[in-house]
Structure 1
């Protein structure tokens, strides 16, 4: 018994140790008993092995007991087991001690973690309290500021100085308008200084720098007065002594009358000041003063209109202002002189790969590599080529005479394919004076080149043909510093013959377009024949000849067109947002002068925009437009130039329309109406359809380009707009849901979509397509339209019955009655599953509906004309089934039973799937079936 007890204790200790270790390792409850159903395969095998071992040991012991003479052996074994058990017990005690130590260590770590968590929680509570305290202090500070503001407002109200936000805005606008006109708006201290010691008010002082002509006039008058002063001094003194006292009393008593006189004086100064500001240039100060003197004389008549303005109605004032505009325009037209020419505006047209961009790059590089001054200025939306650069490049051209050059330079539009530019020309603008048509000598006239020719002929714009890529002629040797005509004559004979052959080919292609061309050196009648100049934009050959020809042609035949006119002609080309400068507008100034401080009226998407010019910027000479902050500031700029204008509230300006300058206060409202009417006229002139998509674009030019593209793709449009997509645009587009749901969408080209508009569109099931490239916009819409059509087809597939005409094959009658199974030949139309079949020769009796079609033992959905197929016709009429041989035979023709409803469904949703022959079959079946 003792050995068993000892052995049991050892086993129990071992089991306890194993259970504790298992619990520590797996963090599971301290139990070694695992239900059999939850055992893993490995645990089950281990348990079975241990069980087999124990049973083997029991069997061995039982065998030894039964054998005689084994008592001594059993006793010895028992002693060994007791000894072994005691050793295991010792080992077990050591293990238990180690485990207890491990458990204590874990308990300590758990307590430490709890302590740290408590400290962290206390820290977070302290931070939260600190935040709450800061928020409370901030609220108190805001409440205190609010109370002080209310107290200040109440004090101002008590003193009668309180202004509403609208009044403050009006006051600010009035101050800006006065400052723009050169008037000094006095501060409170200056107002106090305007009263003299005897209580009289003095008129405000004005900026003397801009009134040189008036000062000169005053000096002349003062000299005359000094001469007369001596003679009239005695008489004036006597009169002054007699009436001086009485007059001073009257002035002191009637202070309101004095104020009116001062106001009248200031208004007179204002108008004379403004008239001196109407015209100017970036020329010398002497020229400025001369111009101002002329302007004063030109506006003498206009000043008479101001006398009784407060007695006139708004309509009468508007009529007077428009009359003044007309007089001013006629006066400026009469002052045009051929001695003062502006830079002609040149555009470059041609196919994408003809080299027009390379030609612009070559022209821009004039003198840049040599670092010479007076080179090319890369301007906003345009490249300005100065006169010195033209003379330098054309010095080898025999027909060019530098001394006779009158134009200041060229203004070349960088973006000849720009939508704003091309559409401005469509509206009759004179933005482009002459064009360069680039033609690839290797390919001749390409489709886009022909379109450009038609565009130029339609607008009656003169142009010169640059026959580009002559460097590709076999054996051609380049020399850009030589006259192109002399250089061509020095080429190898084979090269000359190839040039002649290719030129004659281009000549024939131009003749097909109804135009005559001739080489520039042989052209004696430039009005009848269009000049051609061979060039190599890549190597620079012939570029000097092109520039020399343009110079001679413009100042000879376009003198009246490019004569400088003081009447402002300025076009907004693009609205850009630039870091550090904000929103700016890029304009092309053709005629007139823009000055810093001018009040501009610009057409905007939400009405006219009135703003003041803060700065006029142009890049430094020989600097690329891409270089950041490389702009030069100007106080005034004379046309023709490309300018970047800095001003406020330009975010909603519309590109592609003219801008106006306000010279007088009464002109503001008239010019605002004119600016708003410009956009309205442009939008209303667009022909719209009753049903179509809603089109939205960023500029007027891009809108017209998109509409032209939609016309070619036969996509109708019902409404158009310019600017970001707002909720009201979605409401207009949603009208199409009642008429044609596939057109209930907005094509937004290069514009932003407001968030509330997108939410409303999703709610109303109006689709908005947004893209920066026209082709992407078209692809998205066509894909959407095709998806809608496919959806409609699936919805109406059971209603559509395609026309067909069948002939029975008598040798292939497989079943004569319900279902009728026979072979047929499709003589016309299309046979589809679900088509009802009738016999027109037997009073249009209906046999049933085609439920199955087989061709070459394979199931198909349809059969076309000429196919021989086997069909199964099931009786779906509800009447008695029809029998082959009794009701119809193979001599009878079978047709599809179409109706007016099925024809309408085919027209609406399956028009593309029906051929012209199918529609002709429908017409013949309508007569047979009496469908109207």
Structure 2
């Protein structure tokens, strides 16, 4: 029996894969994993018939409703005519004379909104008054200000009162540390479809840049030293009228460095694996980095034109990392390609667009722009140059932006082909000029009202960075885990394992993962044989993980980076010591239980009032014992009247640590003197029940 894929059937029916999947589940109770799942020919034929019936019904309904459609059209025409008449009437009113002009000005200028400060010229324009009149009124209020000089809101308010204009103070959306707070109307990401942003990762010489080169038909590899990508670039290609943005990075290191700065810019990862080579160490690292970022992955099995190419071997090796190819019953899309012959590249791009469709990537092009810095440099002739990826909104030439701790007004903007452009929408990479300084890759940018606002925010951020350096707090460590959990952090411990041999790595990973419980989860995000290097520290920094090394040491660069990034590195010679340390940290992560334990009771037989001391009660221990550290609950006729601590416990004139049943003693209480004969003192303590061993 022949079968058909969901996305192929969706294309035939001219609907999206997402819509078809929901129809299959709701109307046919057919559960499918994703757009790559297969359907039987019988089911597909039935679905086609039902869709055809729906189309017929829709057509007939349209015919029936033709009259109503015509009526609606006529109504719309009538509305437009009435609007035009209103406009004409307004024009006639405006041309009636000077008096009506002044009235209109008053209506326009009623309730003007300005910020904390404003220049004299801007203020005059806002209230529709001549500059000379504004300057004259300023002089009457005792302020001598030139046309381009700034005045504060209080001064502007005084002038506006004289000119009979009402002012409203505009509240800036900038918080105390110079962060851009989103306006309420822009909380949603919008409903416009945006191009997917794709990162290509994989092992050295597996053909990452060659695939990109073949896709965009630009000879990038020829200009690069030794065929290695030396910079971070971004390129946009088109397929069937839809755009795809590719990030050409030097690999997973840059991907994770950006993520460590909070820049989750990648929507889809293409993992390039050579068909004649299989999974290599850097491929393994790329898989772990991709999983840590929780980004959908498409595997491109490259070099299919070479002898010895074996895609099944690659798929087999992928299963070792819990990645099962879709044609083997899994959900990972694997596409055989060849950068040399361009075989399978169109299929790869189609799979990218299908994955993007399933991810439902949306944006709002009408809002203020925001995004991320892909790369930045200082050019001798042009000054600071930054490559930005617009993630939401539309960026225009002339916009003021805040980027990390730098700012600027965009003087010029270029697309990925070097062409001068005026604006860029969501998921479009651009190169800009006009920043005050060179930002760092991964810094976020936000469009703000004006350059002055951007400068003030940048200053606040710089101040915040200085304070953070002074009061730098450490990242997660085994000692700090319990404190971080008390502060409300997630009960999850991310670990990176490095060992001298692969066998030890697997043994440690297996032992650590067995420690996971319902309360605390241990997640090994990366494990490999070899020394602890900078890549491990970068991943740990991005994922807030600890690094465990067995029979290995960090190299000098890794140790220096770990100190800078405050990453906890633990090295061991015995596996069980590593397991015990993690187990202890996990027990610390479990919140302890507390239980009250009654130690004894005492009856008040007599009371004495002593100045500067308070009420001393003469007690007889009726049950158990009373210790100096006991908490006391005062019970009167079965009702608790106070709960406090003991300030002193004495036997005759001497202080006592504890008094047992059958003995008399003197007790004074903290901040409670209303003690009466016959009161019962219940001595108790709160004990902590430690979590059980995992």
* TM-score interval, normalised by the smaller of the two chains: 0.3 to 0.5
The higher radius of gyration belongs to 1
The normalised TM-score by structure 2 is 0.43
The normalised TM-score by structure 1 is 0.33
